[in-house]
């Protein structure tokens, strides 16, 4: 069978190219995975520090974004959306300064938002799953129920939860991302060389 008659040939060629492009970097990918796992584990060990660091970095980026929006608004001041862009930029600067000025309150506020999001979103998912009962609706219902429980658990532990939840979530996320990179790197190392 010739490759001209095979509609999947271009896709296989592209996949081979992509695998060959990163195959030689497997050790770096494994190193990245290990580093992320170590960093995530450290953050889990010090969740308050991780929360404060996350809120501070977030505050800096919101402040930077707001400042850039103000500059852009004055740069395009003839535009009819000038005041909206200016207001949005000022709001970004104020929120960024508030997060930087008091990262503890910022962490608590973000945790309240997260708990509310989990609770309300979980209710919507569960109700939607029960009312429509499409194929696999039980998984969506379970996901919604878990979100509601997590939202309530976080809410009940406020304000203490505000000092640890964000840091714990960032640490867990880094560990899972690190495991993904580690598995990818080890899989690349063991792949046989592809031939055309």
Report the C-alpha gap between 194 and 36 in whole angstroms: 30
Would you say residue 15 lies in a domain?
no
In a domain, 23, yes or no: no
Do 93 and 70 form a contact (C-beta atoms < 8 A)?
Answer: yes
Domain that holds residue 104: 30-190
- pTM of the full predicted structure? 0.71
Our count of domains for the chain comes to 1
Give a yes or no: residue 58 inside a domain. Answer: yes
Note whether residue 196 is domain-resident. Answer: no
91 near 67, Cβ under 8 Å?
Answer: no
Task: Spell out the per-residue pLDDT of the chain, length 196, in tens.
Answer: 444 577 777 877 777 777 777 777 888 999 999 999 999 999 999 999 999 999 999 999 999 999 999 999 898 878 888 899 899 999 999 999 999 999 999 999 999 999 999 999 999 999 998 998 888 888 889 999 999 999 999 999 888 888 999 999 999 999 999 999 998 888 888 876 655 5
Residue 4 lies in a domain: no
189 DSSP 8-state letter: H
Nearest to 111 by CA among 180, 72, 177, 164: 164
Q: In this structure, is residue 12 part of a structural domain?
A: no
Condensed to tens digits (0 to 9), the pLDDT of residues 106-130 reads 999 999 999 999 999 999 999 998 9
């Amino acid at each position: 069978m010739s490759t001209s008659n095979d509609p999947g040939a271009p896709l296989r060629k592209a996949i081979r190219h992509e695998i060959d492009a990163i195959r030689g970097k497997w050790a770096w990918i494994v190193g990245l995975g290990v580093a992320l796992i170590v960093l995530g584990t450290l953050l889990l060990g010090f969740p308050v520090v991780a929360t404060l660091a996350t809120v501070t970095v977030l505050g800096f980026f919101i402040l930077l974004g707001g400042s850039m929006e103000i500059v852009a608004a004055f740069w395009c001041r003839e535009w009819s959306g000038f005041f909206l862009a200016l207001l949005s930029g000022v709001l970004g600067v104020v929120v960024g300064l508030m997060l930087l000025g008091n990262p503890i309150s910022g962490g608590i506020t973000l945790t309240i938002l997260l708990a509310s999001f989990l609770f309300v979103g979980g209710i919507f998912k569960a109700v939607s799953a029960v009312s429509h009962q499409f194929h696999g609706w039980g998984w969506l219902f379970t996901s919604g129920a878990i979100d509601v429980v997590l939202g309530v658990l976080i809410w009940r532990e406020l304000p203490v939860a505000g000092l640890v939840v964000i840091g714990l979530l960032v640490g867990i996320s880094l560990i899972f991302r690190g495991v993904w990179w580690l598995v990818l790197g080890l899989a690349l190392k063991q792949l046989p060389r592809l031939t055309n």
